[in-house]
Amino acid sequence: MSATLDRISRVRISSVTLPLATPISDAKVLTGRQKPMTEVAMLFAEITTENGLEGVGFGYSKRAGGPGQFAHAREIAPVLLGEDPSDIAKIWDKLVWAGASVGRSGLSVQAIAAFDVALWDLKAKRAGLPLAKLLGAHRDSVRCYNTSGGFLHAPIEEVVERAAESVERGIGGIKIKVGHPSHEVDLARVTAVREKIGDVPLMVDANQQWDRAAARRMCRALEPLDLVWIEEPLDAYDFEGHAQLSAAFDTPIATGEMLASAGEHAELIRARGADIVQPDAPRVGGITQFLKVMALADHAHLGLAPHFAMEVHIHLAAAYPREPWVEHFEWLDPLFDEHLEISGGRMHLSGRPGLGVTISEQARAWTVAHDEVRI
C-alpha cells in the first residue's frame, strides 16, 4: 500500500483588497517615509485534493506589494499539483526553488505563505483537529492585547477612550504607537493611557523611527511606566542596537515583525537583539518557517508575541512552551465567517478543525484578481 493517500488536484488564488474605515498613521507616516494606510492587500490560497479535502490560507501586504505577491503566487502555483498535501516541508522547498532567482526572503516567500498556511489548515482538517492541537498546544487560550486603537493619527482622547473600551471587552493588554517627532508628546500620550487603564499591561511601538541616541533617551524615560515591552525602537535590522538596549534597560525590547525569513530571525536571536520576538507567519513564508523561528526563540529562552494575523497566530502562540501574547486587530473580521472569542484578557481557541475560518462572501466581493490551476 502506498504511503501517499491523496494528492493536490486544484489550487485557486485570489487577490482581495480590504478597505480600512479610517486612514491609519504611525511613526513612519509622521517621518514622511510612508503614506497613511487605507487598505490591506490579501492573498488567499484554496487548495483541494483528489479526495475532496480543502485547505484555506492567506498572506497579506500593507501599502505596497499585493499585486507582486499575487503575480509570484500565480507563477509557482502549478508546482503544487500532484503533490501529497501532507508533505508540507517538501512542498515549501519546491515552491521556494521554483522562484529562487528572486531570492528566499521577502515577497517571494510571502507569496508561498498563503499556500503553506492552506496546507497546514488542510492537514489539521484531515486530522479533525484545530491547528494548535495538531501542532501540540500548551494552552487553549492566549493573552491578547489590542493595537488598532492606539495609532498616532488619533487624538489622545480617542486613544484613551478606545483603550478603556478594549479592557472592558475583555482584552488583556493595550499597545499604543509612539515615535512622534516630539518626545514630550509621546510621553504624555503613554502616561495618559497608563493613568486611564491602571495596572493593565501596556506596550508601546516606535515602528523603527528612533536612532540609537533617541532610543536610549526614550527607553530611559519610559522605564517608570512599567511597560510590558518597547517595540521596534530602532531599524528592524539593527540587531546590535536592539541588543544594547535590551542589556541596558529593565523594560523588555520586542522586535521581529519586519523580518522576512526564518534566517533573518536566526540572526536577530543570535545577536540577542530581542527579549520578545515578534515573527509574522505570512511575512516569513508561512507556518513551516514560523515553527523554525519558534524553536530558536524557545531555545534562547525568549518571549513570543506574533505580529498581526491573529487568525493564524492564535494557533502558533498556543503551541509555544512559554506564555506568549497575540495581537488583536479587528481589521480582518469582514474576511471570515467566524470570529475568535475574547474574554478574561485572553483569546480562546475554538474547537473547529484547521484554522477554524472560512472565507466570507464579502471577501469574495472584494476580489480584484484570481487564477486557478488544476490537474
Is residue 231 annotated as involved in ligand binding? yes
Assess whether 307 carries a catalytic annotation: yes
Is residue 63 annotated as involved in ligand binding? yes
Is residue 217 annotated as involved in ligand binding? no
The catalytic position among 307, 313, 315, 328 is 307
CA dihedral 270, 276, 280, 281 (to 10 degrees): 70
Is residue 90 annotated as involved in ligand binding? no
Is residue 216 annotated as involved in ligand binding? no
DSSP-assigned beta bridge partners for residue 176: 204
Q: Please, which residues have CB within 8 angstroms of residue 348's CB and are 6 or more apart in sequence?
A: 140, 141, 340, 341, 342
Q: How far, in Å, CA of 84 to CA of 86, rounded?
A: 5
Is residue 175 annotated as involved in ligand binding? yes
Is residue 292 annotated as involved in ligand binding? no
115, 47 in Cβ contact below 8 A?
A: yes
292, 309 in Cβ contact below 8 A?
A: no
CA-nearest of 164, 146, 221, 228 to 188 is 221
What is the secondary structure of 176-214 as a DSSP string?
Answer: EE---S-HHHHHHHHHHHHHHHTTS-EEEE-TT---HHH
Is residue 361 annotated as involved in ligand binding? no
Q: How far, in Å, CA of 166 to CA of 145, rounded?
A: 9
Is residue 205 annotated as involved in ligand binding? yes
Is residue 26 annotated as involved in ligand binding? yes
Q: How far, in Å, CA of 248 to CA of 221, rounded?
A: 13
The catalytic position among 133, 177, 265, 328 is 177
239, 210 in Cβ contact below 8 A?
A: no
Assess whether 177 carries a catalytic annotation: yes
Q: State how beta strands 8-24 and 367-374 pair.
A: antiparallel
What is the secondary structure of 122-163 as a DSSP string?
Answer: HHHHHHTSBHHHHH--S-SEEEEEE-TT--TTS-HHHHHHHH
The set of cell numbers assigned to 333 is: 473580521
| Helix/strand/coil (H/E/C) assignment for every residue in 245-301 | HHHHCCCCEEECCCCCCHHHHHHHHHCCCCCEECCCHHHHCCHHHHHHHHHHHHHCC
Residue in the structure block whose three cell numbers are 536610549: 216
Q: How wide is the angle at C-alpha 128 spanned by C-alphas 126 and 131, nearest 5°?
A: 90
Question: Residues within the annotated binding site for Mg(2+)?
Answer: 205, 231, 257
Question: Residues within the annotated binding site?
Answer: 26-28, 62-63, 175, 205, 207, 231, 257, 327
Catalytic positions are 177, 307
Question: Residues within the annotated binding site for substrate?
Answer: 26-28, 62-63, 175, 207, 327
